[in-house]
Amino acid sequence: MKKLMILLVGLMVFSLMLSAGESGKRWRLEAEGGFVLPGYNNVQVPNPEGTRFSLRNDLDVESKAYYRLRLSWRFAERHEFSLLYAPLSLNASGVLPGAVRFNDTLFPAGTSVDALYRFNSYRLTWRWHWVRAPRLDLWVGFTAKIRDAEIRVESAGSEAYTDNVGFVPLLHLRMEWRWGNRAGLIAEADAAAAKQGRAEDVAVMVFWNAGSRTRLQAGYRFVEGGADVEQVYNFAFIGYVFAGISVLF
């Protein structure tokens, strides 16, 4: 995964070098942080032989702090690339109300277990500035997402896990509406759906321009989706309450 991120960054730097003579290039660094609000998280491994259980309802999952980082490069008047690093891991624990067979390992009813849900996301997004109006901007584009996922269950005497690294193509949409010189509203989404599953990352936030290069923002985000395939059934909903800062350079 580190090699992949180095390659993506290298591609952006190489593109910048090729267009060194162009004007209007702008970089933007965005940092987002807040608290995760876990929703449903249903798991069955393998599918359908394993036991379907809930990491949210059958175990205790606490909200936790999180962060995201995005680096964007506007390389032409209406085009922009961005790289997103969005790590996420949630820990759950409790006593199983019923027997659970997870990835060919049996955890009897009444077993005290610890569980890990990890879903790190690495994304390369291209978007085109479709509509430019005095108070409204619309972007459309595509996102190439690499997911690095793991679900792990362990007790005093047993341990089982499943992991997966895969590629997911997503449609990207963004809207920015300004109700004054400094403040406004942003809504953005990466989303896709197929027979095997779906993925959505949707955020709504308010922003305030603290200066010509600095923007403060706060809002709510949710990530929802999962897969229903032979190896695994997993669908989850995760909410985020966040604040962030965006700096142009």
Each residue's pLDDT tens digit, 72-119: 999 888 999 999 999 999 999 999 999 999 999 999 999 999 999 999
* Architecture of the structural domain at 2-248: Beta Barrel (2.40)
Grouping H, G, I as helix, E, B as strand and the rest as coil, residue 137 is strand
* The predicted structure's pLDDT at residue 22: 44
Which residues face 54 on adjacent strands? 42
Largest CA distance in the chain: 67
User: Mean pLDDT over residues 52-59, rounded?
Assistant: 97
pTM confidence score: 0.88
Q: Residue 238: what residue type?
A: I
- Sequence spans of domains, the chain: 2-248
Residue 152 reports pLDDT greater than 70 = yes
pLDDT per position as a tens digit, 177-233? 999 889 999 999 999 999 999 999 999 999 999 998 999 999 999 999 999 998 999
CB proximity list for 189: less than 8 A, separation 6 or greater: 171, 172, 173, 174, 200, 201, 202, 203
Predicted pLDDT at 19? 47
Give me the phi and psi of 55, to 5 degrees please. Answer: -70, -20
Supply 160's token pair.
């089982």
* Distance, CA of 39 to CA of 16 (rounded, Å): 41
The reply to whether omega before 38 is within 30° of 0 (cis) is: no
Q: Residue 62: its pLDDT value, please?
A: 85
Q: What angle do CA 199, 189, 185 make, to 5 degrees?
A: 150
For residue 20, pLDDT beyond 50 = no
Average pLDDT over residues 134-147: 97
Average pLDDT, the chain: 91
Q: What percent of the chain has pLDDT over 90?
A: 84
* Residue 16, H or E segment: helix 2-18
